[in-house]
Amino acid sequence: MSHFSTIKTQLKESKPLIKALNQLGYVINQEEKFVKGYKGQFTAVDISMDLPSNTKVGFKWDNNSNSYELVTDLDLWKFELPVERFISKVTQMYAYHTIISKTEEDGYQIVEQKNKNDGSIELVLTKWDS
Amino acid sequence: MPQRTLRFKILQDGRVQETVEGFEGSSCNNATKKIEEALGEVRVKNKTAEAFISNQSEKQKSFKNESNVTF
Q: Quote the pLDDT of residue B26.
A: 66
Cβ contacts of A21-29, under 8 Å, gap ≥ 24: A21/A47, A21/A49, A21/A90, A21/A93, A23/A93, A23/A97, A24/A89, A24/A90, A24/A93, A26/A51
Q: How far apart are CA B24 and CA B41, in angstroms?
A: 24
Query: Of A7, A108, A127, which is closest to B18 when you measure between CB atoms?
Result: A7
Burial class (CB in 10 A: 0-12, 13-18, 19+), B61: exposed
Q: How would residue B70 be classed by pLDDT, with cut points 50, 70 and 90?
A: very low
Q: For residue B55, give the nearest of B65, B44, B70 by alpha carbon.
A: B65
Q: What is the pLDDT of residue B63?
A: 45
What is the model's pLDDT at position A58?
93
Q: Is B57 near chain A, with CB under 8 Å?
A: no
The chain A residue lying nearest B66, using CA atoms, is A3
Q: How confident is the model at residue A32 (pLDDT cuts 50, 70, 90)?
A: confident
Which residues does chain B have within 8 Å of residue A128's beta carbon, measured at their own beta carbons?
1-4
Residues of chain B with Cβ-Cβ distance to A13 below 8 Å are 38
Contacts of residue A102, defined as CB under 8 A and 6 or more positions apart, other chains included, come to B34, B35, B38
Q: Which residue has better confidence, B35 or A99?
A: A99
- ipTM higher than 0.90? no
β partners of residue A70: A59
Give, for A36, the enclosing helix (H) or strand (E).
strand A34-36
Q: Which residue of B has its CA nearest to A112?
A: B7
Task: In whole angstroms, give the CA distance from residue A124 to residue B7.
Answer: 5
Please write the tens of the pLDDT for every residue from A69-84. Answer: 999 988 889 999 999 9
Q: Which pLDDT score, from 0 to 100, does residue B58 have?
A: 43
B40 touches chain A (CB under 8 A): yes
Per-residue confidence (pLDDT) for residue B65, from 0 to 100: 42
Residues of A whose CB is below 8 A from B32 = 3, 5
**Residues with Cβ within 8 Å of residue A64, at least 6 apart in sequence:** none
The residue among A82 and B65 whose pLDDT is bigger is: A82
